[in-house]
Structure 1
Amino acid sequence: MNVDYTAQKQALPKQERSVRTNKWRTFYLKFRKNKLAMVGGCVILFYIFVAVFAPLLAPHDPYQIELANKLKPPSAEHWMGTDDKGRDVLSRLIFGTRLSLSVGFVAVFIGAFFGIILGLFAGYYGKWLDTIIMRIIDVLLAFPGILLALAIVSALGPNLINVMIAIGVFSIPMFARIVRGSTLSVKKLEYIDAIRSLGASGLRIIFVHIFPNILSPIIVQITLRLATAILSAAGLSFLGLGAQPPLPEWGAMLSNGRDFLFSVPFLALFPGLAISTLVIGFNVFGDGLRDALDPRMKH
């Protein structure tokens, strides 16, 4: 017998809604006590602020070439000096924040979207569908992530769009495995059996009742994968397979700076510091999320 959504919602045990509310309240109280994670969150917010207001913050045009001012050391006019084409390093770093964050967020969105869908369906329906999906995931996991990304970018061509696709593809298995395991646990709970007995469809159970209750590990994984995605994108650009000139991407700037590492070290120093601080910020923030969302952690 089929029951409309209103009836299902009225029949939904209050326990499900109260558990969600208490979980997020407890998470906030725990996370607030983790000072290192709070610092990581501030670092992320700072870079997001820089990315959003890049045109207002950059003192110079990041693409303007002035050969007469090439390889100038840091000064009052150029706080981080100029590169081998006379472009302002600070302005390029500021605009590069947009590229690095964009690549990270888009790549992780691709990986999370497909990984979550595959994991939910594999965990809920099981049987032959679970077998097929997980064997595909096992094949992807057989390749080291950066090696798989290199192969995809080499096949598609070197540019940022293909870098996003490549990093997204090698992020899919991590999300699929985590979501599948969480789905297997949640679908055994009593309230899922109650909802199923009311005639709710499988898709409604998956997306309305299971998915909201497995968000915790997904959020943690997204945060940690952002750090990996940004670092991987910088690595591919460093190798010449990512951002192409004259885009001010941090990995490409670092690659350009290595040619002047001993004569003008700041060209490689500043992009390297930007990559490191942002990646560390995401990592400590993700660790804080994991600790706050894990009920086994004592605070």
Structure 2
Amino acid sequence: MKLEVTEARHPLPVKTASPRAKKWLSFYRKLKRNRAAMVGGAIVLFYIVIAILAPMIAPFDPLEIDLGKKLIPPSGEHWMGTDDKGRDIMSRLLYGTRISLTVGFVSVCIGAAIGIILGLVSGYYGKWIDTVIMRIIDVLLAFPGILLALAIISALGPSLGNVMISVGVFSIPTFARIVRGSTLAAKKLEYVDAVRSLGANDFVIIFRHILPNIMSPIIVQGTLRIATAILTAAGLSFLGLGAQPPTPEWGAMLSNGRDFLFTAPHIAMFPGIAISTLVLGFNLFGDGLRDALDPRMKK
């Protein structure tokens, strides 16, 4: 009688996604269901790609003056026409994308960095520290954003760098109030008490445990704030307080084209379309992020 020896077959281990990977996958699925957010994200991505590839796809030098070709309407050679100095509008628009995105991102980073720190300190420590910081924030909020930016840039002087600073300053109160409210709620949770009982100091608790858990509203507000920053920077340049000639900035181009609205409307039309679509893209994408990151928006 032969004894058959059979080998025990063990099923191969199945790799499961980590909790973080599952969280990101769930976030992407929620975002993907929002068609408006996907459209907004596509618009933003389109402009980012244009900004990166501007030197390679721009048909002409954005600063090259050719008075013999001034005020040419859109044509096969100049797809968006030329301005009053014969400069190619399409090339200037492509390079202007870099400037507008840079102003938007840098100014929001300035406002977010200061606002987040003020909000964390105010919400975590409370008492007189909270009172002092919030009264300063209330003073900044007492001025409309564009007026506060005008006051700051009037004191610093017109330049693109000062535009970033002024727009960043008027973004501080928004971030500070959002972070303060989130910190007040987060510091009462059990995991903060557990970390504190283990001997962690305030710096570790604030920046390693509270801040990472309140990033969702910060990310959403930052995305929406970029749109506001781009629009405000364009407005300041339109008034002559931002980028100075011959910098190809969208607001400055729009200001230059207002003198030719009836004879050469394309000079102002294309920068206006660019500003509107980019701001719309950030707003749509920011709204989608808010819905996807909000746990109360589950379907």
Q: 2:191 is matched by which residue type in structure 1?
A: Y
Q: CA deviation at 1:96?
A: 0.3
What is the distance in 1 between the residues matched to 2:127 and 2:84? 59
Q: CA deviation at 1:30?
A: 0.8
Q: 2:117 is matched by which residue type in structure 1?
A: I
Name the structure 2 match of 1:228. Answer: 228
What is the distance in 2 between the residues matched to 1:25 and 1:69? 53
Name the structure 2 match of 1:215. Answer: 215
Name the structure 2 match of 1:98. Answer: 98
Q: 1:71 is matched by which residue type in structure 2?
A: L
Q: TM-score, normalised by structure 2?
A: 0.92
Give RMSD over aligned pairs: 1.2
Q: 1:193 is matched by which residue type in structure 2?
A: D
Deviations 1:67-122 (A, max 9, x none): 00000011111000000000000000000001000100110000000000000111
Name the structure 2 match of 1:72. Answer: 72
SS in 1 for 2:246: coil
Q: Name the CA shift for 1:101/1:177 in 2 (closer, same or farther; >3 Å).
A: same
What is the distance in 2 between the residues matched to 1:234 and 1:182? 32
- Is 2:135 the counterpart of 1:154? no
Aligned pairs, how many?
282
Range that drifts further, 25-34 or 166-175:
25-34
What is the distance in 1 between the residues matched to 2:246 and 2:233? 16
Q: TM-score, normalised by structure 1?
A: 0.92
Q: CA deviation at 1:22?
A: 5.7
Q: 1:133 is matched by which residue type in structure 2?
A: I
Bigger Rg, structure 1 or 2 = 2
- Is 2:124 the counterpart of 1:138? no
Q: CA deviation at 1:298?
A: 3.7
Unaligned runs of 5+ in 2: 1-17
What is the distance in 2 between the residues matched to 1:267 and 1:28? 40
Q: Map residues 24-39 of structure 1 onto 2, 5 A cutoff.
A: 24-39=24-39
Q: 1:189 is matched by which residue type in structure 2?
A: L
Q: Name the CA shift for 1:55/1:155 in 2 (closer, same or farther; >3 Å).
A: same
Q: 2:84 is matched by which residue type in structure 1?
A: D
Deviations 1:238-285 (A, max 9, x none): 011101000000000000001000111111100000000000000000
- Is 2:201 the counterpart of 1:204? no
Q: 1:220 is matched by which residue type in structure 2?
A: V
Q: CA deviation at 1:128?
A: 1.2
What is the distance in 2 between the residues matched to 1:232 and 1:126? 33
Q: Name the CA shift for 1:178/1:24 in 2 (closer, same or farther; >3 Å).
A: farther
Q: 2:288 is matched by which residue type in structure 1?
A: G
Q: 1:198 is matched by which residue type in structure 2?
A: L
Name the structure 2 match of 1:260. Answer: 260
Give me the identity figure in percent.
74
Unaligned runs of 5+ in 1: 1-16
SS in 2 for 1:245: coil
Q: CA deviation at 1:127?
A: 1.1
Name the structure 2 match of 1:55. Answer: 55
What is the distance in 2 between the residues matched to 1:135 and 1:271? 39
What is the distance in 2 between the residues matched to 1:114 and 1:52? 28
Q: CA deviation at 1:295?
A: 1.5
